Amino acid sequence: MSSGRPGIRFRFDRDDLLRTRFAISPLIELAGASYVVRRPGDFPEHREWVAAVTSRLEGLDLGLVFAAAPLGRRSWPNFNAPPPVSPHPWVEDELTRLAATDPGVVRADVRRAYPEGVPPSAEVFVGDPSAALAALVGQLRAFWSAAIEPWWPSMSAFLESEIAARARRLVAVGGQAAFTELARNVSWDGRTLTIAPVGTAPRDVDLDGRGMLLIPSVFAFGVWPRIDAPWDPAVTYQAPGVGDLWSQADSGSALDELIGRRRAAILRSLDVPASTLAISRRTGWSPGGVNTHLGVLRATGLVARRRDGRQVIYSRTSAGDSLCGGQERTER
């Protein structure tokens, strides 16, 4: 039975809890970041990042980005940041998927988000969705390059550390702690995950064996349930400790000068040991380029490797940890 509290209620059966999974989404980060840059005073935890990106955003046309993530509303369109279909997608994969969104889905989603009438800033998504999507993708790509890409290796490693810790918590103590720790307005009664009022009418969502997708985010605020078709149920939440992320990123400039920006980014990304392909996804750089840098880091004693089945897993050595300011690694 439902917990009886108002809000969004996700009903689990036994298999749904076992099928709870995690993912990272560049598009969701872009949507959240677009809010932060317009209301920086509301997000003191991102002060260092805002200061760093403000000049980089000058002259960029982000009108459609902002229209797709409007300020001052408790309900957003979902099409611009759908739940990811893989655990750690490339930003270009997500942009390609966004560009291919069915125009009918875009129209319906925008109208749902604006039941009182679509404002002029968002009318293009209803009038010519295909053209609007193409233009939106171009703006998102520019926004990514200016505001996210330079910090993505650190962001990605931070989010993977959160996933590893949250997954261990879910296995060790079950949903009571792992779910209720997401935010104060989240409760769990053993069968139902309830998110107290989030600006939409109360809804009951039966997972029906689909499981729950949890998406930790740097730029999320509170929790953001996704319940509308054609997307699978998902909950985006702000990963704890975001303020520490920016202070660590700011302290990395000396390391960049010492060993080079890309090698420094790879070294910092190894808070969680990973394969070449996983590091490539964290950084957005080609596997070949990542492998070359790993070879140099390994030769200088900053990185070690071990075989895990068919994969080779790289991790920082104690010397690598020291260069990264003593950041604690997450073993897995």
Report if residue 84 sits inside a domain. Answer: no
Distances (CA, A) of 62 to 35, 49, 285: 12, 18, 25
How far is the C-alpha of 65 from the C-alpha of 68, rounded, in Å? 5
pLDDT at position 47: 92
Q: Are residues 227 and 165 in the same domain?
A: yes
How far is the C-alpha of 156 from the C-alpha of 315, rounded, in Å? 15
How far is the C-alpha of 191 from the C-alpha of 101, rounded, in Å? 33
Q: Are residues 229 and 260 in the same domain?
A: no
How far is the C-alpha of 33 from the C-alpha of 93, rounded, in Å? 19
Report if residue 95 sits inside a domain. Answer: no
Q: Are residues 268 and 228 in the same domain?
A: no
Q: Are residues 264 and 313 in the same domain?
A: yes
Report if residue 93 sits inside a domain. Answer: no
* Structure confidence by residue, pLDDT tens digits, 138-172: 999 999 999 999 889 889 888 988 998 888 888 88
pLDDT at position 332: 47
Is the N-terminal amide bond of 230 cis, ω within 30° of 0?
yes
pLDDT at position 2: 41
Range of the domain at 206: 8-23+155-236
Report if residue 107 sits inside a domain. Answer: no
Is the N-terminal amide bond of 70 cis, ω within 30° of 0?
no
Q: Quickly list DSSP for 214-236.
A: EEEESS--SEEEE--TTSPPEEE
Q: Are residues 272 and 224 in the same domain?
A: no
DSSP label at residue 144: I
Amino acid at the residue 15: D
pLDDT at position 200: 62
Q: Are residues 159 and 18 in the same domain?
A: yes
Number of independent structural domains in the chain: 2
* Structure confidence by residue, pLDDT tens digits, 295-326: 999 999 999 999 988 889 999 999 998 888 75
Residue at which a domain ends, from 187, 202, 236: 236
> Along the 332 residues of the chain, how does pLDDT read in single tens digits?
344 556 889 999 988 988 889 999 999 999 999 999 999 999 999 999 999 999 999 999 999 999 998 887 667 788 999 999 999 999 999 999 999 999 999 999 999 888 888 989 999 999 999 999 999 999 999 999 999 998 898 898 889 889 988 888 888 877 777 888 888 889 998 899 999 866 666 789 999 889 999 999 999 988 888 887 788 899 999 999 888 888 766 555 678 788 888 898 899 888 889 899 888 888 878 888 899 999 999 999 999 999 988 889 999 999 998 888 755 555 54
pLDDT at position 249: 64
226 and 83 Cβ atoms separated by less than 8 Å? yes
Report if residue 54 sits inside a domain. Answer: no
What is the bridge-based pairing of β-strands 213-217 and 21-22?
Answer: parallel
How far is the C-alpha of 226 from the C-alpha of 310, rounded, in Å? 36
The answer to whether the pTM exceeds 0.95 is no
Residue at which a domain ends, from 208, 236, 264: 236
Distances (CA, A) of 135 to 49, 53, 197, 201, 307: 26, 22, 34, 32, 44
Q: Who contacts 41 (Cβ-Cβ below 8 Å, separation ≥6)?
A: none
Q: Which residue has the tokens 């990395």?
A: 252
pLDDT at position 3: 44
Report if residue 310 sits inside a domain. Answer: yes
Our measurement of the distance from residue 156's CA atom to the centroid of its chain's CA atoms, rounded to an integer in Å, reads 8
Distances (CA, A) of 229 to 83, 91, 120, 137: 11, 23, 25, 22
Give every strand in the sheet of 8-11, ordered side by side.
186-188, 192-195, 8-11, 203-206
pLDDT at position 54: 94
**CATH number for 286:** 1.10.10.10
Residue at which a domain ends, from 182, 213, 236: 236
How far is the C-alpha of 158 from the C-alpha of 113, rounded, in Å? 31
How far is the C-alpha of 304 from the C-alpha of 300, rounded, in Å? 10
How far is the C-alpha of 138 from the C-alpha of 148, rounded, in Å? 15
Report if residue 14 sits inside a domain. Answer: yes
